Amino acid sequence: MDSYQQIVLASRPTGAPQPENFRLENGPMPVAADGQLLVRTRYLSLDPYMRGRMSTAKSYAKSVEIGETMEGEVVAEVIQSRHPDYRVGDLVQARTGWRTHAAIGVAGLRRVDPTLAPITTALGVLGMPGFTAYAGMKVIGQPKPGETVVVAAASGPVGSLVGQLAKLAGARVVGIAGGPEKCAYLRDELGFDATIDHRAYGLAEKLAEACPDGIDVYFENVGGPIWQAVLPLLNRFARVPMCGVIAHYNGGGGAEQDLLPATMTAIVRKSLLLRGYINFDFVDEHHDAFLRELGPRVRSGDIRYREDIVDGLEQAPDAFIGMLAGRNFGKALVRLA
């Protein structure tokens, strides 16, 4: 094998990304310089934040340029090592992007131990999405016993852990997800107290019924109509960790009238806390505790997770587009041959 494949950003989407915004390219196999590793991707993670990198809007991270490799995190296998600390066959977690192979330095590389948990968990429940859920609840949400916690996109890799962490904290958990299959999973497998299918009629009414004591923590990763249903139910001193507003990433979610004054007024009147974050904000302080607390619970099956895996790098754009539309069921991953 003397060539590798990658997917580059062909053009910037104006709304929802389309297949033509991506292009599959071949190139000569990268060469590991002295001190580097040549790695082969085993799994590529697909995550909502990638939509942000496709546009030029000011953000915490720079945009992907046209013609550049799509950014992303992978679990990869070392196939050639020019560094004394790594051997062929070692597994690492790295930000190589949407590509089959890469030559990388070892700074900041995290090893993946396949004996501790399935290696895909390094991209999901024990990886960035899991830590996003953990940090948001630990630092911002802080649910107390008997409080009501609502999480949207609840069957996704972040939402499903948010709900399970809230249950562990003794809270009542209401999950919002798309379709009866996902709702059944949340109730029957993850032990959520109530679920709401956002595709069904009457979201606001159903949410109000499911939250007779109001909402104390709303984990926001969606925005749009779900926020509108949540807002009137928030209790005084409610906390809103915000790690994403996927409904707005494609430029959508705007209403006919200005909904901002109602949100601003509610923040003041109900002493609400809204706090945006990305998982990196809390890595230094909380990542060790995250692995220490959750690793054993994942291995024991105490905390559950679900994956939605497609095969082949060429499937990544379609799977990504589907994930933004909520068509995945579990952590979206691409398995490379």
| CA atoms of 51 and 306, how far apart (whole Å) | 22
**56 part of the interface to a copy of itself, by CB under 8 A:** no
Q: How many residues bind a copy of itself (CB under 8 A)?
A: 44
Q: What distance lies between CA 239 and its chain's CA centroid?
A: 20
Tell me which stretch binds a copy of itself (CB under 8 A): 20-28, 91-99, 104-112, 236-244.
236-244
B/e letters for 4-21, b = 16+ CB within 10 Å, e = fewer, are: bbbbbbbeebeeebeeeb
| CA atoms of 204 and 62, how far apart (whole Å) | 37
**225 part of the interface to a copy of itself, by CB under 8 A:** no
**329 part of the interface to a copy of itself, by CB under 8 A:** no
Maximum Cα–Cα distance across the chain: 64
**277 part of the interface to a copy of itself, by CB under 8 A:** yes
The single residue among 265, 285, 302, 318 that binds a copy of itself, judged by CB under 8 A, is 265
Tokens of 277: 């974050």
| CA atoms of 305 and 165, how far apart (whole Å) | 12
| CA atoms of 197 and 244, how far apart (whole Å) | 20
The single residue among 10, 106, 184, 259 that binds a copy of itself, judged by CB under 8 A, is 259
The single residue among 66, 236, 285, 302 that binds a copy of itself, judged by CB under 8 A, is 236
| CA atoms of 212 and 148, how far apart (whole Å) | 9
**271 part of the interface to a copy of itself, by CB under 8 A:** yes
**139 part of the interface to a copy of itself, by CB under 8 A:** no
User: Is the Cβ of residue 3 or residue 59 nearer to a copy of itself in the bound state?
Assistant: 59
The single residue among 86, 218, 227, 320 that binds a copy of itself, judged by CB under 8 A, is 227
- Residues in Cβ contact with 57 at an 8 Å cutoff, skipping those fewer than 6 apart: 63
CB of 99 to a copy of itself, least distance (A): 26
**59 part of the interface to a copy of itself, by CB under 8 A:** yes
Distances (CA, A) of 93 to 96, 106, 219: 9, 11, 27
Tell me which stretch binds a copy of itself (CB under 8 A): 25-33, 55-63, 121-129, 292-300.
55-63
**245 part of the interface to a copy of itself, by CB under 8 A:** yes
Tell me which residues touch a copy of itself (CB under 8 A).
52, 57-60, 220, 223-224, 227, 236-237, 242-245, 247-249, 253-261, 263-278, 281
